[in-house]
Structure 1
Amino acid sequence: MLRFDPFRDVDSLTSAMLGASSGSDRAPRFMPMDLYKVDDHYMLSADLPGVDPGSIDVDVDRGTLTLTARRSAPESTGVQWISSERFAGTFRRQVSLGDGVDTERISASYDNGVLSVTIPLAERAKPRKIDIAHTELSGETRSLEHQST
């Protein structure tokens, strides 16, 4: 355990000059996440350890997915902090979705400190086969896909 921190005074001075709060009520800096595509949907996984599941909000508005969660600070009455590195407060992350997703079918779950959001592709954005039409000498138009060889 580290009881003496030679940089504590410098950190306090810097926080005071920048207007940042100190102690366990510091604002979270980031919400680590992964975003990847699987078949016909995207998967977003965000690390939110120690967050109350009831505080998590997943919202879609005008093509932007917003993830919000809150981690409460531990009770600090009568506590002498030796080290305080776990952020408490509100976490927020926004992702621009674009036009190719079905916002009506987005779903989310929270398990073991990980928020998982499934973002399905819209039907119009899914890959599809395009028929190629061609005109034979007789003037009849036929689809190449239906033509026998």
Structure 2
Amino acid sequence: MDLDRMKKWLDFAKEFQHGQFWDSVFDKDYTEKAMEQFTQSSAPKPLNNSRFPLADIFKSNHEFIIVLDLPGTRKEDIEISIADYSLNVRGVVNPRYSGMGKVQTERFSGEFERTITFPELVGGTNISAKFDNGIIEIRIPRSHRSKEKIIIE
């Protein structure tokens, strides 16, 4: 456990000693906020703080295939880029009925960004992306390098 987390834990424990803990333990907002201190990761998060869009990643001897679910998007609202070991997908999902009051909403709308990291260097030529009915299929050839002999000078 690092020092910052240890300090947060000690501060949390002090609240317990002074009786404030039990006064607020059943307050959902307080409990969630307190627990976030110990579960937060230093890894970058997508703009919407979730795993959107959902992705399936497949690999063969020749290529990676990435399938992303992007319901409610247009291909004009999506940007895909690739560099070194990662694929970045960003865009916007516009709300379907933006002028109406919401009773219940479970579908995501707004800006998103998702970075997918590969176990090996990716990129090069012949990368393709196909958009069909809210699903993007991206094909990235795997770069196989033959074993190279290194000459010692």
Identical aligned residues as a percent: 25
- 2:67 matched to 1:67? no
The structure where strand makes up a greater share of residues is 1
Higher helix fraction (1 or 2)? 2
Query: How many residues are paired up?
Result: 104
Match of 1:52 in 2: 74
Match of 1:37 among 51, 56, 59: 59
2:136 is matched with 115
Residues 104-144 of structure 1: CA distance to partner in whole angstroms, max 9, x if unpaired? 3321111111111101011317xx9xxxxxxxxxxxxxxxx
- Tell me: CA distance 1:69–1:107, structure 2 relative to 1, closer, same or farther (3 Å): same
Give the TM-score normalised by the residue count of structure 2: 0.57
Contact 1:71–1:88 at 8 Å: present in 2 too?
yes
Q: Report the CA distance shift for 1:99/1:76 in structure 2 as closer, same or farther (over 3 A).
A: closer
Q: Which amino acid aligns with 2:108?
A: F
TM-score, reference length from structure 1: 0.58
1:88 aligns with 2:112: no
Q: Does the CA contact (< 8 Å) of 1:31 and 1:46 recur in 2?
A: yes
Alpha-carbon offset, residue 99 of structure 1: 4.2
In the other structure, the counterpart of 2:17 is none
1:107 maps to a residue whose letter is: S
Report the secondary structure of 1:108's partner residue. Answer: strand
95, 116, 124: which is aligned to 1:103?
A: 124
Q: Which residue of 2 aligns with 1:10?
A: none
Structure of higher CA gyration radius: 1
Give structure 2 stretches of 5+ with no counterpart: 1-27, 34-47, 148-153
Q: State the one-letter code of the partner of 1:69.
A: G
Query: Does structure 2 retain, via aligned residues, the 8 Å contact 1:28–1:87?
Result: no
Which amino acid in the other structure matches residue 31 of structure 1?
A: P
Deviations 1:18-72 (A, max 9, x none): 7xxxxxxxx4732111101134111000110111110111101243210112111
Q: What is the RMSD computed on CA atoms of the aligned residues?
A: 2.8
Answer whether contact 1:108 1:118 (CA < 8 A) is retained.
yes
